[in-house]
């Protein structure tokens, strides 16, 4: 499983809304412009990027992708010390 933190800064309201709706299909919103995305295959990230490029073709926008390793996730926590919670990959055949 691949886990990414995807963050964006997009000025246009319409484009920002479209990006948020796209990312909601792949992951969980953890802050207003930050999503935690869990992918089963590396190729899924390429699909997300392709869709983002189509939405933001002419936009003044910045989108960043931070890959979170298992060690980084295990060491991550909230300000109150609570762990972020473990998300297992579920595959339905």
**CATH number, residue 63:** 3.30.70.240
pLDDT at position 18 over 90: yes
90: confidence class by pLDDT, cuts 50, 70, 90: very low
Q: What is the number of domains present in the chain?
A: 1
9 is in an annotated binding site: yes
Dihedral sign, Cα of residue 15, residue 18, residue 22, residue 23: positive
1 within 8 A of 39, measured Cβ to Cβ: yes
pLDDT at 89: 46
Q: Is residue 39 part of a domain?
A: yes
**44 or 78, greater pLDDT:** 44
pLDDT at 75: 81
Q: Is residue 40 part of a domain?
A: yes
CB within 8 A of 7, min separation 6: which ones?
Answer: 33, 34, 35, 63, 64, 66
pLDDT at position 42 over 80: no
The pTM score is: 0.81
The residues facing 31 across adjacent strands are: 34
Q: What residue numbers bound the domain in which 35 lies?
A: 2-74
Rounded Cα gap, residues 18 and 35, in angstroms: 14
């Amino acid at each position: 499983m691949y886990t990414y933190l995807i963050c964006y800064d997009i000025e246009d309201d319409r484009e920002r809304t479209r990006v948020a709706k796209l990312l909601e299909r792949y992951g969980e919103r953890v802050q207003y412009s930050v999503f935690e995305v869990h992918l089963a295959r590396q190729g899924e990230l390429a699909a997300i990027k392709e869709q983002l490029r189509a939405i933001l073709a002419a936009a003044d926008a910045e989108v960043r992708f931070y890959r979170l390793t298992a060690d980084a996730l295990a060491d991550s926590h909230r300000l109150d010390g609570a762990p972020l919670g473990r998300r297992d990959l579920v595959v339905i055949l």
